Amino acid sequence: MTVNRLLSDEWALGAAYKFTQSELHQDLVDLPDDSISPYARVFRRSELHTFSCYLLYSHPSGFFARTDLAWYLQQNQTQALNVPAARTGDDFPQLNLWIGWRLGGAWAIFRLACSIERHRLQTQPAYRLSRTAA
């Protein structure tokens, strides 16, 4: 979902929200359910919420400046056979600053960008095999 608004001939702002969900059902069919690994059957789900907003200044001479602020929220869930569900996640902001110059009719654009962020998106671990004494 995106909302954009022209405030004047030179100013614009906008906001957006995006949701992404991924699921993985993993069955290692060569391992029986009571095998050494509780990870023979695993269900994983990840959800990513992205919130963003921007403010843009565009001068008729071609100069422009823009700032974007985005916030990411990730939530993970892992459910394996006979193992309690594990939930992890993280969130972080990202700030982007752009300045630039458009040459006549946007034939060329020179842009300098800076990104300020702190992130630690977590990956889902691969299945772990554990050995039991025979």
Instruction: Provide the pLDDT for residue 67.
Output: 92
Pairs from 31-35 (Cβ < 8 Å, separation ≥ 24)? 33/81
Question: Do the beta carbons of residue 66 and residue 24 sit within 8 Å?
Answer: no
Q: Read off the pLDDT of residues 77-125 as tens digits, 9 standing for 90 and up.
A: 887 766 777 778 888 888 888 888 888 766 667 777 777 776 554 444 4
Instruction: Provide the pLDDT for residue 128.
Output: 41
Q: Read off the pLDDT of residues 10-60 as tens digits, 9 standing for 90 and up.
A: 999 999 999 999 988 877 766 665 556 666 677 888 999 999 999 999 998
What would the two tokens of residue 95 be?
Answer: 């700030």
Sequence spans of domains, the chain: 2-117
Query: Cα separations (Å) of 47 from 26, 50, 101?
Result: 18, 10, 38
Closest by Cα among 11, 18, 129 to 80: 129
Angle at alpha carbon of residue 72, lines to 7 and 57, rounded to 5°: 20
Instruction: Provide the pLDDT for residue 130.
Output: 41
pTM higher than 0.75: no
What is the rounded CA–CA span in Å between residue 16 and residue 4? 9
